[in-house]
Amino acid sequence: MSWEAANRTIQPYLVQAVADDAPEGSFMVRRAETVEFPTFWTFHKAVVPPTGQVGVNLVGASWLLPRTVIQEDHGRVADVLLPNPGLTFYMLVAGGQVSKVDPSRAGLNPAWRKAGAHVVIASLWPDSATNAEIQEERNMIRERSKDLRTLAPESGAYFNESHISSALSLVTTTSSFWV
């Protein structure tokens, strides 16, 4: 899928995200756009600061949103993603070759075959945070990940980015990885 085609797919969501009808005191989006990166390395250099730090105090979860959800239910996608008090990364993945390969010939989470966006939610805390504060952040991401999953319960998570409560159910056939 070209960048132009991806923009056509995401445009209704971006219009909804920037709408001026947000309740007083809520999160407001003033600008929403897409940026094309030719390689992962160029993305990494542009987005990740060179701190020299190893590790970070973070809890997160991700979910792959099918193209159909983005196109047909963009208002609900905005309703779920915009209230997130932590970090939200919304990355277009656009299917590509992976969506064309015979499923029996490639080891791949089936959710990638229909994915249009890879959504990651996360929360950070300072080194000085108390155990109660850390637990509060973990609980918030657990609840937000449940909300995110309701957008496409039949989808899945990128293998190392499922919320821990989903990762613990690896042995079931309905976990984040085996949908």
Question: For position 90, what pLDDT does the model report?
Answer: 86
Q: List, run by run, the mean pLDDT of 10-residue segments along the chain (179 residues).
A: 80 77 68 82 83 81 90 90 84 70 73 86 93 94 90 82 52 45
Q: What is the model's pLDDT at position 39?
A: 87
Domain segments of the chain as ranges: 3-34+57-167
CA-closest candidate to residue 113, choices 102, 129, 121, 124: 102
Of 98, 24, 91, residue with least CA distance to 64: 91
What pLDDT is recorded for position 76?
92
| Residue 38 CB burial class (10 angstroms; 0-12, 13-18, ≥19) | exposed
**Residue that the structure tokens 């990638």 belong to:** 112
pLDDT at 169: 44
- Dist. CA 150–CA 79, nearest whole Å: 12
Q: Is the whole-model pTM more than 0.85?
A: no
